[in-house]
């Protein structure tokens, strides 16, 4: 069975075996990542060991799965966008490695294991993050050489991804998040705004850039590289925006329930009940974008439910 038919095969049945779909996609992504990453034995060994250790074993692989699902929904073969899907996971992993550093979140653990700087030292963790990001753009450009992928579409996507994760996207959102934290670094104006002054608009702007832009661009990349129509690209991007915001709210609810006290979050500002209502509304909005795809949109409906129900 070809990968292109996977999505439609799954949705044709009365019951979508969502878990099997996720597992199959994760296997595909992990195999491709393993092929694209330099071997640990390649000098300088330590950087390649650090990169691989940050990537394997992986997390949910949500971002590349979204890209592959978007390609399939617009009726194309997801195999041909595997380099882009892997690039999106490399970018996500770089952001986690850097976010865990002592200068940022100072987390000793990631996915139940020592974080990259704990295992390899800060110097190598910084460089491993840089190397993951650099390799991502190598893969993005190489995707243009795959059969059935238009070079212009590849160029468009490289720009879209760069903007989604730059200072007007993920990095900008992270900087504003830092500014709003009590313990900000000496480089950032301390306590730039007070908690009571943080509006819903400000918090959504941070979430949109810090978390949702990358998730949105995963869907957009799949839709554009898969040759989707303008209407399909817009619908999938809209879906991505909504689940991206929902994803961050879930993460903040989980942190709040785990006793973590972060200030500029939905639960801290609006309480748990209102946060859950907002979450449900975002999931509803996300699903409403999928109606143009009919049955083919079922997988992404399941992804939206998966995000909403994750541990809450």
Binding site for ligand GRG (CB under 6 A): 59-60, 62, 95-96, 98-99, 104, 111, 170-171, 174, 210-211, 248, 251
Smallest separation, CB 41 to ligand GRG (Å) = 26
Smallest separation, CB 171 to ligand GRG (Å) = 6
| Residue number with the smallest Cβ distance to ligand GRG | 59
Under a CB-based contact definition with an 8 Å cutoff, are residues 83 and 146 in contact? Answer: yes
Under a CB-based contact definition with an 8 Å cutoff, are residues 153 and 225 in contact? Answer: yes
Under a CB-based contact definition with an 8 Å cutoff, are residues 301 and 236 in contact? Answer: no
Within 10 angstroms of residue 1's Cβ, the number of other Cβ atoms is 6
Nearer to ligand GRG, 51 or 170 (CB): 170
188 to 174, 184, 204, 211: CA distances (angstroms): 12, 6, 21, 20
159 to 2, 140, 163, 223, 271: CA distances (angstroms): 30, 10, 6, 15, 38
Q: In angstroms, rounded to a whole number, what is the distance separating the alpha carbons of residues 208 and 187?
A: 23
Smallest separation, CB 95 to ligand GRG (Å) = 4
Smallest separation, CB 96 to ligand GRG (Å) = 5
Nearer to ligand GRG, 80 or 213 (CB): 213
Nearer to ligand GRG, 84 or 248 (CB): 248
Nearer to ligand GRG, 104 or 312 (CB): 104
Smallest separation, CB 285 to ligand GRG (Å) = 19
Nearer to ligand GRG, 4 or 179 (CB): 179
Nearer to ligand GRG, 11 or 96 (CB): 96
Q: Across-strand partners of 110?
A: 113
* 102: Cβ contacts below 8 Å, ≥ 6 apart: 117, 122
Nearest-5° angle of CA 49, CA 84, CA 213? 100
Smallest separation, CB 173 to ligand GRG (Å) = 7
């Amino acid at each position: 069975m070809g990968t292109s038919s996977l999505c439609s095969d799954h949705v044709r049945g009365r019951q979508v075996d969502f878990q099997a779909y996720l597992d199959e996609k994760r296997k595909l992504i992990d195999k491709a990542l393993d092929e694209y990453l330099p071997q640990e034995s390649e000098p300088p060994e330590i950087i390649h060991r650090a990169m691989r250790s940050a990537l394997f074993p992986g997390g949910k692989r949500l971002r590349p799965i979204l890209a592959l699902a978007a390609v399939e929904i617009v009726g194309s073969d997801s195999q041909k966008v595997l380099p882009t899907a892997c690039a999106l996971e490399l970018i996500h992993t770089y952001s986690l490695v850097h976010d865990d550093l002592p200068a940022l979140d100072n987390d000793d653990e990631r996915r139940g294991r020592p974080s990259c700087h704990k295992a390899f030292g800060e110097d190598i963790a910084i460089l491993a993050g840089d190397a993951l990001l650099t390799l991502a753009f190598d893969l993005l450009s190489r995707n243009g050489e795959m059969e059935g992928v238009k070079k212009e579409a590849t160029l468009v996507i490289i720009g879209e991804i760069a903007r989604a994760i730059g200072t007007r996207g993920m990095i900008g959102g992270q900087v504003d998040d830092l500014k709003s934290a009590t313990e900000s670094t000496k480089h950032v104006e301390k306590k730039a705004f007070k908690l009571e002054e943080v509006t819903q608009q400000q918090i959504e702007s941070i979430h949109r850039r810090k978390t949702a832009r990358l998730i949105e661009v995963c869907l957009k990349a799949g839709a554009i590289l898969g040759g989707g129509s303008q209407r399909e690209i817009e619908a999938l991007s809209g879906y991505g925006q909504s689940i991206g915001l929902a994803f961050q709210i879930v993460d903040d609810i989980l942190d709040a329930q785990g006793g973590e006290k972060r200030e500029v979050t939905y639960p801290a500002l609006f309480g748990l009940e209102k946060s859950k209502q907002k979450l449900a509304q975002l999931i509803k909005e996300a699903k409403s974008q999928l109606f143009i795809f009919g049955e083919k949109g079922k997988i992404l409906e399941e992804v939206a439910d998966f995000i909403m129900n994750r541990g809450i």
